[in-house]
């Protein structure tokens, strides 16, 4: 069993009849070890394990570590994404041309994206100079260069996705230097019928006419009527959220139409075609 | 600031993302980030001669599915132009896809960016 002391007062080891212990586990009794966690030691080990940074690397004072922890310790996953993007962005052909003209990142959900994109800056507060410092500077400069990098928020015309999109938007604008690209309002459903068409559909559904229509068509029109009503209802229910999103966003909102197909190349083609249409 | 949804007065896609080098698509779960990322990359590769890479963090095969491929790994793989053309997406540029494989990317990146054994934690 490992008992972990986190306030570094040494009380825990003492209570177990052992002098104060340090960052390495010490066996104090049979099957019982104690370790005292010190934030800076912990962070040094964290860097050593995940970043292979030698433990003699100078860190800022302890206050910096606390700031760092308070703003969200960037785990390997956080640095991983932004590090990979930076690596690919930096790659050059033998003639010095960039390997990629554009990198499109299918990233994480709203709640995780900012810790990832700001991971380099968070770490930079702790690392003074050196090679790691310049690497972090490079990553941070790439992320915050509005001419190079943009964060495109994607939403649906529904309550929660719009609320989260606006929350992320405000967070980016108010607390980061990250540039925002267009916001994509995905799966929008344009009105599929005019008022006259809707009136016609309702007449078709009317019991007075339904039987006659069924005789002519050889089948009922229930499915058609339900489809038109559903599309209309979805369109109406999404409009307030779409309007709210457009009103609050500081960037253009690009409506991407719903493609009623299984995910695949056909869907991608249809969405891409709608985007090309915007251009 | 109030802005209308995209319409005749909204700048086109090329104007909105044309000069960028990195576009990060994010949003709540289930809003279609992967499909949009694939479509955005395809749309740009279709309308320009740029080399576009689409990079997913999702270990599921959604991006591969969206691009009509059986799978995507950590190494960038070119999406076959013939397959895209057959699907009605003729490209002027090039479309490449990759997935973030944590272990290999992590090791590779730090090995590449920290060039000395000392910085990599060696002696």
Percent of chain B scoring above 90 in pLDDT: 37
Percent of chain A scoring above 70 in pLDDT: 73
Measure CA A238 to chain center.
Answer: 23
DSSP A156: E
CB contact under 8 A, B87 and A265: yes
| Contact with chain B for residue A46, Cβ under 8 A | no
Q: Is A242 helix (H, G, I), strand (E, B) or coil?
A: helix
CB contact under 8 A, B24 and A150: yes
| Contact with chain B for residue A249, Cβ under 8 A | yes
Give me the sign of the Cα torsion angle B62, B63, B66, B69: negative
Better-predicted residue by pLDDT, A39 or A136 = A136
Give yes or no for residue A278 having a pLDDT over 60: no
Give yes or no for residue B112 having a pLDDT over 70: no
A83-133: pLDDT as tens digits: 778 878 888 999 999 989 999 999 888 888 898 899 888 878 777 777 777
Angstrom distance (rounded) from CA A98 to CA B37: 21
CB contact under 8 A, A264 and B66: yes
User: A228 - beta bridge partners?
Assistant: none
Give me the sign of the Cα torsion angle A278, A111, B58, B77: positive
By Cβ distance, the residue of B24, B65, B100 closest to A80 is B100
Chain B residues whose CB is inside 8 A of the A100 CB are 21, 51-53, 96
Mean pLDDT, to the nearest integer, of B38-42?
92
Please give the ipTM for the structure prediction.
0.78
By Cβ distance, the residue of A52, A53, A149 closest to B22 is A149
To the nearest whole Å, the CA of A153 is away from the closest chain B CA by: 5
| Contact with chain A for residue B110, Cβ under 8 A | yes
Mean pLDDT over the full length of chain A: 79
CB contact under 8 A, B40 and A168: no
Chain A residues whose CB is inside 8 A of the B20 CB are 102, 147-150, 181
| Contact with chain A for residue B121, Cβ under 8 A | yes
Chain A residues whose CB is inside 8 A of the B113 CB are 87, 135
A17-63: pLDDT as tens digits: 777 777 667 777 776 777 766 555 655 665 665 555 665 555 555 44
Which parts of A8-56 are beta strand (E)? 26-29, 32-36
To the nearest whole Å, the CA of B15 is away from the closest chain A CA by: 8
CB contact under 8 A, A264 and B68: yes
Residue of B nearest to A114 (CA): B26
Residue of B nearest to A98 (CA): B51
Please check whether residue B17 is in contact with residue A183, taking contact to mean a CB–CB distance below 8 angstroms: no
Neighbours of A93 (CB within 10 A): 9
Chain A residues whose CB is inside 8 A of the B30 CB are 156
What is the per-residue pLDDT for A33? Answer: 72
Better-predicted residue by pLDDT, A279 or A138 = A138
| Contact with chain A for residue B9, Cβ under 8 A | no
What is the per-residue pLDDT for A52? Answer: 58
Give chain A's radius of gyration (CA, Å): 29
Band the pLDDT of B120: cuts 50, 70, 90: very low
Which tokens hold the place of B88? 């009605």
What is the per-residue pLDDT for B77? Answer: 93
Mean pLDDT, to the nearest integer, of B69-93?
89
Chain B residues whose CB is inside 8 A of the A152 CB are 17, 23-26, 40
Mean pLDDT, to the nearest integer, of B1-25?
67
Q: Is A97 helix (H, G, I), strand (E, B) or coil?
A: coil
Mean pLDDT, to the nearest integer, of B81-87?
89
Q: In degrees rounded to 5, what are phi and psi of residue B116?
A: -105, 155
By Cβ distance, the residue of A117, A181, A247 closest to B16 is A181
A236, A276, B39 from A190: Cα distances, Å: 10, 18, 20
CB contact under 8 A, B5 and A181: no
CB contact under 8 A, B24 and A276: no
Band the pLDDT of A72: cuts 50, 70, 90: very low
DSSP B88: T
Angstrom distance (rounded) from CA A45 to CA A24: 11
Chain A residues whose CB is inside 8 A of the B63 CB are 106
CB contact under 8 A, A102 and B23: yes
Please check whether residue A221 is in contact with residue A204, taking contact to mean a CB–CB distance below 8 angstroms: yes
A139, A199, B70 from A210: Cα distances, Å: 66, 14, 48
Better-predicted residue by pLDDT, A148 or A267 = A148
Give yes or no for residue A5 having a pLDDT over 70: no
What is the per-residue pLDDT for A19? Answer: 78
Mean pLDDT, to the nearest integer, of A230-255?
92
């Amino acid at each position: 069993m490992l008992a972990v002391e986190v306030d570094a007062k040494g009380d825990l080891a003492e209570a177990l009849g052992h002098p104060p212990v340090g960052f390495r586990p010490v066996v104090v009794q049979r099957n019982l070890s104690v370790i005292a966690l010190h934030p800076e030691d912990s962070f040094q080990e964290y860097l050593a394990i995940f970043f292979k940074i030698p433990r003699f690397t100078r860190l800022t004072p302890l206050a910096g570590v606390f700031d760092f922890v308070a703003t969200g310790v960037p785990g390997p996953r956080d640095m991983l994404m932004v590090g990979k993007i930076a690596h690919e962005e930096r790659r050059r052909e033998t003639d010095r041309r960039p390997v990629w003209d554009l990198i499109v990142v299918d990233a994480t959900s709203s709640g995780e994206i900012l810790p990832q994109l700001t991971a380099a800056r968070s770490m930079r507060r702790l690392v003074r100079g050196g090679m790691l410092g310049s690497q972090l500077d490079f990553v941070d400069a790439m992320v915050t260069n509005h001419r190079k990098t943009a964060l495109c928020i994607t939403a649906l015309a529904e309550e929660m996705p719009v609320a989260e999109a606006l929350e992320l938007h405000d967070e980016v604008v108010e607390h980061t230097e990250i540039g925002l690209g267009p916001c994509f309002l995905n799966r929008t459903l344009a009105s599929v019928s005019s008022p006259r068409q809707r009136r016609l559909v309702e007449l078709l559904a009317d019991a007075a006419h339904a039987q006659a229509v069924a005789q002519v068509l050889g089948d009922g029109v229930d499915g058609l009527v339900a489809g038109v009503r559903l599309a209309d209802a979805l369109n109406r229910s999404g409009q307030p959220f779409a309007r709210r999103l457009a009103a609050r966003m500081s960037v253009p909102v690009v409506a991407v139409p719903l493609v009623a197909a299984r995910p695949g190349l056909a869907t991608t083609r249809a969405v891409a075609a709608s985007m090309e249409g915007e251009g | 600031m109030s802005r209308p949804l995209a319409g005749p007065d909204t700048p086109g896609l090329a104007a909105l993302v044309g000069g960028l080098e990195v576009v990060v698509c994010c949003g709540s779960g289930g809003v279609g980030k992967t499909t949009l990322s694939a479509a955005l990359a395809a749309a740009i590769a279709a309308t320009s001669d740029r080399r576009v890479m689409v990079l997913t963090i999702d270990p599921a095969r959604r991006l591969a599915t969206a691009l009509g491929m059986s799978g995507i790994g950590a190494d960038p793989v070119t999406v076959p132009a013939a397959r895209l053309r057959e699907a009605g997406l003729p490209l002027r540029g090039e479309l490449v896809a990759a997935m973030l494989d944590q272990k290999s990317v992590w090791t590779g990146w730090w090995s590449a960016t920290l060039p000395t054994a000392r910085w990599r934690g060696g002696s």
